[in-house]
Amino acid sequence: MSAASDIVPVGLSEGRTRVVIERITPAVDDGRFPIKRVLGDTVEVEADCLADGHEVVACALLWRQGGATDWQRTTMQPLGNDRWRAAFAVTELGTWEYTVCAWVDPFLSWRSDFARRVDADDVRIAALSGARLIDEAAQRAGRHGDGRLLRAWSAELGAAAGSTEVAQLHRIGLDDARAAAAQRHPDLRHAMTHPQALAVTVERVRARFSSWYEFFPRSAAAQPGRHGTFADCEAWLPYVQRMGFDVIYFPPIHPIGRTRRKGRNNTLDPRPDDVGSPWAIGAAEGGHEAILSDLGTLADFKRLILRAAEHDIEIALDIAFQCSPDHPWVQEHPQWFRKRADGSIQYAENPPKKYQDIYPFDFESAEWREMWEALVGVFEHWIRQGVRIFRVDNPHTKAFAFWEWAIARVRASHPDVIFLSEAFTRPKVMHRLAKVGFSQSYTYFTWRNTKPELSAYFTALSQGPGREYFRPNLWPNTPDILPAALQYGGRAVFMSRVALAATLGANYGIYGPAFELLEHRALRSGGEEYLDSEKFELRAWQRDSAQSLADFIGVLNRARRDNPALQGDAGLRFLAIDNEQLIAYAKVSDDRSNIVVCIVNLDPHHTQSGWVEIDPGAFGLDPGQTYQMHELITGAHFLWHGARNFVSLDPQRCPAHVMQLRARLLRENDFDYFL
């Protein structure tokens, strides 16, 4: 690779540009949006490069870090059928760019013809042509190094052209080592550089691989009934660390509105001591940049961030852009909200339902510029306090253009900030939010339970166009959603759902302790709201319950940490298994050195068994080979053989196998399954 600032784009105004470049991949919406990678990843770029006629085309991948003016250059290799490939590594956070440059190469064309010439006169004349082309390359190379070498070669070939010795001329003219020197200085006068620079957003590894634990700090007190504080949360850190989570995410921590405050279980007649919903943001004490005094001070919060870091845990905040009627902005900036015909401010609603404790922002406000500045200021405020991960509440009810602008602005100075989109809405809206910049996205996993549902959905996510920009984050539950399966399936379903989340998704999370303590009581039959939801009251959790899944979750998170295959989403492939209640899939690491096979019994009531099929060759195994499956939950070792093996899972013990494939004879260069 070398600097390539000498390659300038050539458009159709120059008729001598004969090469064309088509279908550069990867590209999101034809390059309208960046692809996503994390630090240390390799970006593999392909393109169709072709020209008229039979001459030899050459092409180079051009790439640079955002802000650099010079391109770096890597020669692309032909894949056949006019397709070419090269790769570059992204070694810094932020934006990178790439494009492709191609040209009809006179030297390589000459060389290809020269090797096939047999007539002596013909070879002599061609040797003279070659000497001229090599001399031109020498001039491009300069006075020293390659230039000197090429000048000597040109002179030697030109002089030899007087001879009739075809073999001798071929020997001189086809010298591989000196040809490589000539190729380092190609004739780019008629080169085409694709006019579009495609972008890559490079984030830190946690954007691709993270384990989230959500809990309400106000329920963190050791004494039932007392309002929890950030100081109480410090005592939770060893517990969360033992479970293996690396992100703790808090619902909004701001002052809570009093006007039309909701009571327990989402009632409209609160008692005086009801704490209200943290999503009704803002009171006289402050709004999105203030802290609810019951939780502690800003100093307490910053200390918690530091203490969490000592446990390898980051604190993520929930950013919910909406206001309680008491939010200071309602008075200060009434233009940021819609008015009803009676002059009152429009509350959130979905007729006939009304959410009168919440005012949405009006993204068609005439003062949208001031509002955008204020909203992005909320992120900037918490970044200044040390927060680097934000879970964004309902981003799909705010303008896409705002998110694109706001995320770019934050990343320009803080490329380490991660944004999780909590958009449970229509697929194209969720994808658009991922395209405009969200690092991770909530998914429909929460409601996908059967084998056909799960395999169709995760095949699309891992292999469809979204794989370049949509990083799924899988949640078996949230404070808003207690899915029916958890209400009725018992402990086995809690186990299978968290095992699925932790292995199907490189990013996943649970809302705890409700999850690990098997909270399954719904407010209403047929609904998904929790009974006695923490959204409206404090809860006291028995974290030491014998039923707790904390240890099981800890084992899953350890398997994730130890196996690169579970730290990415692209290497997922479903495996055939002859039982509709069993789902089987393999995950393979980018470098293919790590393979994990998961099998989950989706039936919480009965033992299910079946024959799972793998393609031994696809996993680098000899067809008749015996290999070891190391069960990472129980520590058991199974010996498997060939393509079909028997499994049986009793949901009363454990409904999932998470198995690392171990074989001595992995043939690294012989994988074709995942191409």
Residues serving a catalytic function are: 393, 422
Q: Position 595: which residue type?
A: I
Taking CB under 8 A as the criterion, the residue among 355, 368, 457, 673 binding a copy of itself is: 368
Question: Which residue is associated with the tokens 């031994």?
Answer: 616
Q: Should residue 400 be labelled a site residue for a copy of itself when binding is judged by CB under 8 A?
A: yes
Taking CB under 8 A as the criterion, the residue among 398, 560, 573, 587 binding a copy of itself is: 398
Cis-peptide, bond into residue 26, ω within 30° of zero: yes
570 within 8 A of 249, measured Cβ to Cβ: no
Site for a copy of itself in 299-358 (CB under 8 A): 340-342, 349-352
Looking at the Cβ atoms of 265 and 365, the one nearer to a copy of itself is: 365
Taking CB under 8 A as the criterion, the residue among 44, 70, 92, 119 binding a copy of itself is: 119
Q: For residues 511 and 646, what is the distance between their CA atoms, to the nearest angstrom?
A: 35
Looking at the Cβ atoms of 329 and 402, the one nearer to a copy of itself is: 402
Taken in order 45, 50, 56, 58, the sign of the CA dihedral is: negative
Site for a copy of itself in 226-245 (CB under 8 A): none
Q: Should residue 369 be labelled a site residue for a copy of itself when binding is judged by CB under 8 A?
A: yes
Q: Position 543: which residue type?
A: R
- Stretch of 120-128, 220-228, 437-445, 588-596 lying at the interface with a copy of itself (CB under 8 A): 120-128
Q: Should residue 16 be labelled a site residue for a copy of itself when binding is judged by CB under 8 A?
A: yes
Written as six digits, the tokens of 347 are 């509350």
Q: Should residue 370 be labelled a site residue for a copy of itself when binding is judged by CB under 8 A?
A: no
Binding string, residues 423-442; x marks residues near a copy of itself by CB under 8 A: ---xxxx--x----------
Q: Should residue 467 be labelled a site residue for a copy of itself when binding is judged by CB under 8 A?
A: no
Pairing of strands 389-393, 198-203: unpaired
Q: For residues 240 and 235, what is the distance between their CA atoms, to the nearest angstrom?
A: 10
Q: For residues 24 and 334, what is the distance between their CA atoms, to the nearest angstrom?
A: 48
Q: For residues 493 and 480, what is the distance between their CA atoms, to the nearest angstrom?
A: 19
Taking CB under 8 A as the criterion, the residue among 166, 305, 376, 399 binding a copy of itself is: 399
123 within 8 A of 169, measured Cβ to Cβ: yes
- Stretch of 8-16, 58-66, 177-185, 626-634 lying at the interface with a copy of itself (CB under 8 A): 8-16
Q: For residues 440 and 317, what is the distance between their CA atoms, to the nearest angstrom?
A: 14
The beta strands (E) that lie in 537-581 are given as 572-575
Site for a copy of itself in 123-162 (CB under 8 A): 125-129, 132
Rounded to a whole number of angstroms, the minimum distance from the CB of residue 97 to a copy of itself is 18
Q: Should residue 25 be labelled a site residue for a copy of itself when binding is judged by CB under 8 A?
A: no
Mutual orientation of helices 400-413 and 368-384 as an angle, nearest 10°?
40
Output the DSSP codes for 47-85.
EEEEESSSSPEEEEEEEEETT-SSPEEEE-EEEETTEEE
Written as six digits, the tokens of 619 are 């996993």
534 within 8 A of 477, measured Cβ to Cβ: no
Cis-peptide, bond into residue 513, ω within 30° of zero: yes
Written as six digits, the tokens of 415 are 């490329």
Looking at the Cβ atoms of 29 and 310, the one nearer to a copy of itself is: 29
Rounded to a whole number of angstroms, the minimum distance from the CB of residue 394 to a copy of itself is 9
- Stretch of 88-96, 316-324, 390-398, 666-674 lying at the interface with a copy of itself (CB under 8 A): 390-398
Q: Should residue 591 be labelled a site residue for a copy of itself when binding is judged by CB under 8 A?
A: no
Q: Should residue 361 be labelled a site residue for a copy of itself when binding is judged by CB under 8 A?
A: no
Q: Should residue 81 be labelled a site residue for a copy of itself when binding is judged by CB under 8 A?
A: yes
Q: Should residue 457 be labelled a site residue for a copy of itself when binding is judged by CB under 8 A?
A: no
Q: Should residue 618 be labelled a site residue for a copy of itself when binding is judged by CB under 8 A?
A: no
H/E element, 608: strand 608-613
Taking CB under 8 A as the criterion, the residue among 2, 6, 30, 78 binding a copy of itself is: 30
Rounded to a whole number of angstroms, the minimum distance from the CB of residue 529 to a copy of itself is 20
Q: Should residue 653 be labelled a site residue for a copy of itself when binding is judged by CB under 8 A?
A: no
Looking at the Cβ atoms of 113 and 380, the one nearer to a copy of itself is: 113
Looking at the Cβ atoms of 22 and 92, the one nearer to a copy of itself is: 22
Looking at the Cβ atoms of 144 and 428, the one nearer to a copy of itself is: 428
Written as six digits, the tokens of 141 are 């190379």
Looking at the Cβ atoms of 364 and 672, the one nearer to a copy of itself is: 364
The beta strands (E) that lie in 148-209 are given as 192-193, 198-203
Rounded to a whole number of angstroms, the minimum distance from the CB of residue 125 to a copy of itself is 5
624 within 8 A of 642, measured Cβ to Cβ: yes
Q: Quick one: which of 562, 600, 585 has its CA closest to 673?
A: 585
CA dihedral 337, 338, 339, 345 (to 10 degrees): -50
What values do phi and psi take at 64, rounded to 5?
-160, 160
Applying CB under 8 A, the site for a copy of itself has a residue count of: 60
Question: Contact residues for a copy of itself (CB under 8 A)?
Answer: 12, 15-18, 20, 22-23, 29-30, 48, 50-54, 81-82, 104, 113-114, 116-119, 122, 125-129, 132, 190, 340-342, 349-352, 363-365, 368-369, 372, 396-402, 404-405, 426-429, 432
